[in-house]
Chain A
Amino acid sequence: MQLTLEFGGGLELLCDSKKVHHVNVDLSDGEEKLTMKGLLSWAKTNLIKERPEMFMKGDTVRPGVLVLVNDCDWELSGHLDTTLEDKDVVVFISTLHGG
């Protein structure tokens, strides 16, 4: 499944300072669909190069990270259970405090 993953607000520093990643995620054996939960563990293994605790806490993202699936807050699409489809764009953005 082709997906675009984007990291912002400083999270890109965890994956070689690259913001946009075009990736191909295969379903694990026995799975019929890819959910955000599956994508998070895939991203943690395959994209996050350092300090994984700055990206995830438990099986979800750490506090202060906003997750957007096709420009929409994942709270509105089912959080970890959000089902992803081919060509979806998933954005992980850390909230900023500076000014």
Chain B
Amino acid sequence: MESQREEPNRKILDEIDALKAQKSDIEARISSLESQLRDSSLAKQCNGAFPSISTVASNHSRHGLPSDAIYRYSRHLLLPSFGVQGQSNLLKSSVLVVGAGGLGSPALLYLAACGVGRIGIVDHDVVELNNMHRQVIHTEAYIGKSKVESAAAACRSINSTIEIVEYREALRTSNALEIFSKFDLIIDATDNAPSRYMINDCCVVLKKPLVSGAAVGLEGQLTIYNYQGGPCYRCLFPTPPPVTACQRCSDSGVLGVVPGVIGILQALEAIKIASNVGEPLSGRMLLFDALSGRIRVVKIRGQSPQCEACGEKSTFNPEQFREFDYEKFTQTPLSTAPPKLNLIPVESRISCKEYNEKVVNGEAHILVDVRPAHHFDIISLPNSLNIPLSSLEARLSEISAALKEEETRKSVSGARLYTVCRRGNDSQRAVQLLHKLGFTSAKDIVGGLTSWQTEVDPDFPAY
């Protein structure tokens, strides 16, 4: 049966591979032709061999908007408070979006559509399946490819008349000044504390307005820093928060539409600054609570004279910026990869493979899964007992009872005790606690369920 089923599968897989190869070949040919087309039309405009569309249009209008732009942006032009002036400012403006994730995706879609003349995108990440529910600029075809490449292609397909600049690299103190200096304003669409301080300081040094948004879980926050006498990020938060206070979407979860709402509001604020229309959200902060359906706009402090970045006595300059260690300052790595801690000695740990062997050999043991209950509901190892780390101390009797039961069942003494979690950090904390409370032989499984998938069972779902 098995071999019969494998045969047609092999054929299908081969055909998929062949089609994928053809597809990438065609895509490469298309993008090469597209760049030829761009180069030749640029050359024509420069040589003046053909009258460009804008010179034709300028015969009829004083503002110099090309006729195709008049049609494309007509609904903007019809807005009395925006009009030709607003649109023409927008077309001349440049906006840099740092991060093509949950916030950057919706922001970029609107910035491209509305006609910001030049848009820069910075990100070093690749598109992953678990991004798709919120990073709506990316499509399944780009899974495994650069987020910048994907976002740039989407922006170009929405609006081929604007310039998209791709930075497929991580933002660092070594490249930030050079990249930022090419744009009028910056959108912070990143997801971690060190990046937020770094982006703020770079904007202060270069005197660029910063549209800052953040979203985790069911809440979002939005404001503009370093603009029209308003505060910078450091005026508001001179000291970084403790590491344990920084929730990440990869740990705490996020409802996809929440960064969507904040990202779109970031695009709106950027458009207001770039077109010089309306009252930008400077000196005020918008707080969005999705669950209660409430948006509150609060007044925040102005620029602080004591601020270490933008204050009167501050001497913060490009050289100091380049030298500043943002990871050390915030005690958080710039990359979003979760930390791999080593809290306990190797003798108190076993690998996933070793644990698997013990299960196969029928060793008497119990496995305590110390993740929160809603994580345990997603997926768990067979026969594991869920006791979240936060209630471990209070539920020790359950562990003792489970060990006794296992010993009786297998008619042995000295059943082993193992702990597991998602990535192998909390499981070590649990072992530390268990050792202290008398379970001195407790061991944790290195790398947790994430490693279980990569080392033992590729079909075990990751999340």
Contacts and interface: CB of A to CB of B under 8 A. Distances in A.
Contacts of A78: none
- Counting chain B CB atoms within 10 Å of each CB, the highest count among A54, A68, A95 belongs to A95
Contact of B298 (A62, A73, A98): A73
B232 interface: no
A1 interface: no
A99 B259 contact: yes
B29 interface: no
A48 interface: no
A71 B298 contact: yes
Contact of A98 (B215, B241, B292): B215
A99 B289 contact: no
Interface in B289-308: 289, 292, 296-301
A71 B189 CA distance: 25
Contacts of A75: 300-301
B392 to A, nearest CB: 14
B115 interface: no
A66 interface: yes
A9 B214 CA distance: 10
Contacts of A97: 191-193, 196, 214, 216, 246-248
B447 interface: no
A36 to B, nearest CB: 15
- Counting chain A CB atoms within 10 Å of each CB, the highest count among B102, B104, B190, B246 belongs to B246
B240 A99 contact: no
A48 to B, nearest CB: 14
Contacts of B102: 98-99
Contacts of B238: 63
B83 interface: no
B239 A98 contact: no
Contact of B289 (A8, A66, A76): A8
Interface residues of A, number: 25
Interface string B235-246: 011111110111
B240 A96 contact: no
- Counting chain B CB atoms within 10 Å of each CB, the highest count among A8, A53, A64 belongs to A64
A21 B363 CA distance: 51
Interface string A9-22: 11000000001000
A71 B221 contact: no
Interface residues of B, number: 47
A93 B220 CA distance: 11
A92 to B, nearest CB: 12
B287 interface: yes
Contacts of A64: 237, 239-242, 245
- Counting chain B CB atoms within 10 Å of each CB, the highest count among A62, A64, A75, A99 belongs to A99
A60 B7 CA distance: 69
A72 interface: yes
B99 interface: yes
A68 B297 CA distance: 11
B215 A99 contact: yes
B311 interface: no
Contacts of A66: 236, 285, 300
A8 B103 contact: no
Contact of B254 (A19, A65, A94, A98): A98
Given A64-B240, A68-B298, A76-B299, A99 B219 contact: no
B361 interface: no
A10 B216 contact: yes
- Counting chain B CB atoms within 10 Å of each CB, the highest count among A9, A72, A75, A76 belongs to A9
Interface string B244-276: 111111001010000100110000000000000
B217 interface: yes
6 contacts: A10-B247, A76-B301, A95-B237, A97-B191, A97-B196, A98-B249
Interface of A: 8-10, 19, 53-54, 62-66, 68, 71-73, 75-76, 91, 93-99
Interface of B: 99, 101-104, 189-193, 196, 213-217, 219-221, 236-242, 244-249, 252, 254, 259, 262-263, 285, 287, 289, 292, 296-301
